[in-house]
Structure 1
Amino acid sequence: MKPYEKIGWVDHVVDVATEEVIQEGTPVSQTNMNHMDDGIFENREAVILHEGLIAANQQEIKVLKDATLNNMVNNVFLKNFDSVEAVLIISGVFDPVARKIYV
């Protein structure tokens, strides 16, 4: 994702007495509004992606922490599946609420 470049909005300032334009304001245009709209959208998409990555990392940390606290450090493995339909569980049980397979 490319970095967002600020527009740097400035007010349109006119001298009330002389009606002289002291400062040209940034135009409120389709280009400028779409620039902001695209930036907001791209940042929201990045937040959604990072929320998922953070949640996955939190799950892995919990599994590793629990294994360490229970002295099961030699039996720890992590595997994420899109669904369990493609997984044949021969021994163990799948908990759909916790989204975990216990073996």
Structure 2
Amino acid sequence: MPYQAKTDWKYNDPVTEVDVNRWEQGIKDAHAAMDNFVLRLASLETRVKTLEDAVLNDFKNNIFNMSFQTLDGVLVSRGWHDVANGRLVVK
């Protein structure tokens, strides 16, 4: 539900629980929207970095991006797992 601002406050208007609940819901909704924005921004940063790396390394085909936070289901035969950066380094 979009936030409904009250912009016609008058001096000595009573503040009710309805007003406070509306404020709190607006704050909650704004934080949820910001959390979603942060996740989407992180995803876009990853995509841009992947494309930059591909272009700068002249690797224009078979571009893919996977997170290797864990190696569940992955057998590493060459290279190593860079845990800090969540990536698999292949040599």
* TM-score bucket (shorter structure): 0.7 to 0.9
Q: CA deviation at 1:85?
A: 4.4
User: Taking structure 1 as the reference length, what is the TM-score of the superposition?
Assistant: 0.72
Q: 1:9: how far off?
A: 4.2
Q: Deviation string for 1:29-75 (max 9, x for gaps)?
A: 11101100111111112101211210121012101111111101113
The equivalent of 1:48 in structure 2 is: 35
Structural RMSD (CA): 2.0
Answer 1 or 2: higher relative contact order, Cα 8 Å, separation at least 6.
2
Give the percent of matched residue pairs that are identical in Structure 1 and Structure 2. Answer: 26
AA at the equivalent of 2:18: T
In structure 1, the partner of 2:10 is 11
Cα distance, 1:89 vs structure 2: 3.1
How many residues of Structure 1 are paired with residues of Structure 2 in the alignment? 89
> What is the SS of the residue equivalent to 1:75?
coil
Greater per-residue strand proportion:
1
Residue 3 of structure 1 deviates from its aligned partner by: 1.7
Paired residue type of 1:73 = K
Q: CA deviation at 1:7?
A: 1.8
Deviation >6 Å, runs of 4+? none
One-letter code aligned to 1:29: T
- Cα 1:70–1:37, aligned 2, differ >3 Å: closer, same or farther? same
Measured in 2, the distance between the counterparts of 1:67 and 1:89 equals 24
- Quote the residue 1:18 is aligned against: none
* Residue identity opposite 2:72 in structure 1: A
Aligned match of 2:72: 86
